[in-house]
């Protein structure tokens, strides 16, 4: 399962993501991961959630992000949900077509590995491709 929360800056995407992270931490019986570029969510999410500051790893692009996610899962089969705040910042690109391909990869990964993904994208929802809209 892949869920995308998309909207322009200031439209409450991160606030919505934080609420979903909190709910997952309470309800899910596995490990919950939250990935962000920096440490903005440090005090907003429960301590039981593993917060990953991606800037520590100097990754760039969707290929590196796929490898990083695969490595997380390979190292911990108890991960049930991965939250990602600011997909464009994490990937280092604002290409909607590349984001669509990445979301499709996450969807296949989710089905194969039984891991849910929820992520935010800072862009106008009206600009979303049909391939991105199917994850709303």
The full length of the chain comes to 136
Q: What is the dihedral of CA 19, 102, 80, 9, to 10 degrees?
A: -10
pLDDT digits (tens, 9 = 90+) for 32-85: 999 999 989 999 999 999 999 999 999 999 999 999 999 999 999 999 999 999
Q: What is the CATH number of domain 2-133?
A: 3.40.50.300
- pLDDT attached to residue 16: 98
According to the model, what pLDDT value does residue 44 have? 97
Domain extents in the chain: 2-133
pLDDT value for 132: 98
CA pair distance 2, 117, nearest whole angstrom: 5
Kindly report the pTM of this predicted structure. 0.97
Helix %, strand %, coil % for the chain, to 5?
A: 45, 20, 30
In tens, the pLDDT along 79-115 reads 999 999 999 999 999 999 999 999 999 999 999 999 9
Instruction: Compute the average pLDDT of residues 9-25.
Output: 97
């Amino acid at each position: 399962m892949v869920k995308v929360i998309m909207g322009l800056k200031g439209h409450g995407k991160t606030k919505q993501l934080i609420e979903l992270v909190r709910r997952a931490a309470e309800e899910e019986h596995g490990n919950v991961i939250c990935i962000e570029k920096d440490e903005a969510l440090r005090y907003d999410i429960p301590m039981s959630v593993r917060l990953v500051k991606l800037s520590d790893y100097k990754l760039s692009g969707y290929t590196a992000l796929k490898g990083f996610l695969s490595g997380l899962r390979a190292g911990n089969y108890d991960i049930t949900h991965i939250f990602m705040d600011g997909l464009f910042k994490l990937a280092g690109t604002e290409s909607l077509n590349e984001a669509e391909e990445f979301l499709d990869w996450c969807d296949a990964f989710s089905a194969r590995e039984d891991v849910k993904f929820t992520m935010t994208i800072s862009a106008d929802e009206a600009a979303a491709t049909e391939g991105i809209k199917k994850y709303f």
